[in-house]
A and B are shown apart, each in its own frame.
Chain A
């Protein structure tokens, strides 16, 4: 309750800052996964996070929509501070879409039902409106013809595009991507990246955990390198790739760029 007064403070700046992390720390038991994370993301900004496996990238973006709890520091998303207050968590989740590595589509529902579920139950849209919106986004990710199939009947790339459309149907202000292409075959990666580039160009605020450096160069405003739970380096993509400052970044880049 001590922080209650601080909860709405950031709302004034909400026009500018979409996400703010202040001195965030998180532990899994004794293991310190996130160490003193400070990060501010402006509206419309596109951020790519990379780093070695186990460095805490997933944990970091999962904290942003409270799929994981942080233990100290502040996370303020769209003017709402994430605490145990369920109402505020719901508010944040309504505005933040998330795309997972393994798609996590609902296998018992058709593609269309996957897309309309949350708008109907969370946004209280009418079924007809929700379906119209869903078809709009399915067209945008170029698979309107699959609307009545079940996820299991689609290829991996198509499934991931459905997952993106499903998030977009909630009309989120912020999109989080956790390695959206790393479970896909090379020829499918391209179709998913195209959709993400399109989304980036529309001005969506995005945080992507990915190792697709081409994508980072093309759309990112900023690339963040994490290692062992800390942000080691952040810079514009050009600087980051051409002129990495820290030794760890250099080592990492030499490994993934061959």
Chain B
């Protein structure tokens, strides 16, 4: 028995008993009472909402399943039944086309391998509990793209001599970075003045040669323009100068810079060898690709390229270096100010103008570059939002510990900033995925495009063909986008519990 407490000098003599929660607050009934029918207004809304959902769901079920036609050989099956619903035989017949486009029938195993390997490695990557994340990521980002490229196109790439000269020039040019990486910007430039001047002349000649046609001479088993020849000689000299006395030095920074460059160049050459090698696969032109294949290729490339580019642009926009900042701002604002359709048109018409003559550039590749850069600009702004949320104290603490800019960003700032903007990043991915439908404009047949095109097949013309086709398109897009959305929620919750656990 507890006494009635008097205001002062009262001490509890017995603990109050622990009682079960009152009925109807736990269990499914309790949940419904507290969440759906807690007040008259709430009850009315619940009933209205439920009726609406049931009405819609019934409509879909009635059309797709109850009145739907499931078997048949051609349009007759769907036309014969009066007041029929979805025309499923059309979907069965065309489904392969929805997935592969016009990819040659006997070569579709190549696409399947890419799909399966991609799905498996992506799934193992996405599950946080599985080990070997580093190797998995390496495979997904390096090996898988190469493998996909070779498998889907057939590899055996035929580089025009102009392209080969261009790549050689670029690789030689990149040697200029070695002294800068070894000795820092100022000293690197000081020590390597002559090479820089030679390379500068080469760049100038290249720019001029874009607008002025140069005489050509016969060399290397073909015709080569004088400008190119001079450029290659100049760049070779520059590269030799840049690497030259660095090779003999014992300075560790210089050595590792040199080794890093050699490694990078070898990797690029290895990639070139791989994509030009003949694996005995039949060539499949990208014009023959289509359907889900094109949708996935465009979306995945866009997504994979957009994030790192977007991060670099976001960092650039906040950089103290005026040139870098200006470039980032202009890049972001130009791409964001232009509709994606315009970008795609420009990519198919304007891009070739900036490249050396004779470089033939695949239409799909152009669309890929366009969408990647376009989504990078959006991604940059999303990431910048996250960067802005990181307090200045975090930067200062990192600097005070002596971390360099890139270490500070990689280890301290980006992990926190990206975590904050996961919803925004996934949002951008989802919208990019759906925007891939716009490649139809430049004559590529993505999932929606190929479904659209199949309507004109006289074998399957029926009143329900269009509706059924669009229904399937919507369903397939929805499945992918919904999966991304759920995964982002999952990651968010996983990382957020981390945050809550930390009480911040």
Contacts and interface: CB of A to CB of B under 8 A. Distances in A.
Contacts of A117: 401, 403, 411
B397 A105 contact: yes
Interface of B: 184, 391, 393-394, 396-404, 407, 411-412, 415-416, 419, 498-499, 501-504
A248 B358 CA distance: 79
Interface stretch (A15-23, A87-95, A229-237): A87-95
A108 B386 CA distance: 14
Interface residues of A, number: 29
23 contacts: A67-B396, A86-B184, A93-B399, A94-B402, A98-B397, A100-B397, A104-B391, A104-B393, A104-B396, A104-B397, A106-B412, A106-B416, A107-B416, A107-B499, A122-B402, A122-B403, A150-B504, A151-B502, A152-B502, A152-B504, A153-B503, A166-B401, A170-B401
Contact of B400 (A97, A102, A107): A97
Contact of A90 (B404, B416, B503): B404
B404 A100 contact: no
Which of B400, B403, B407 has most chain A Cβ within 10 Å? B400
Contacts of B404: 90
Given A117-B411, A121-B407, A107 B502 contact: yes
A118 B403 contact: yes
Contacts of B411: 117, 121
Pick the 9 closest A-B CB pairs, nearest first. A152-B502, A104-B397, A150-B502, A152-B504, A118-B401, A104-B393, A93-B402, A98-B400, A152-B503
A86 B185 CA distance: 10
Interface string A102-135: 1011111000000001100110000000000000
Given A87-B184, A107-B416, A108-B419, A153 B402 contact: no
A250 B407 CA distance: 47
Nearest to A68: B396
Contacts of B184: 86-87
Given A67-B399, A105-B397, A108-B415, 9 more contacts: A67-B400, A102-B393, A104-B394, A106-B394, A106-B416, A150-B501, A151-B504, A153-B502, A170-B401
Given A100-B393, A108-B415, A117-B411, A65 B400 contact: yes
Given A121-B411, A150-B502, A106 B402 contact: no
Contacts of B419: 108
A112 to B, nearest CB: 14
A118 B400 CA distance: 10
Contacts of B394: 104, 106
A107 B419 CA distance: 12
Given A86-B184, A118-B403, A122-B403, A106 B501 contact: no
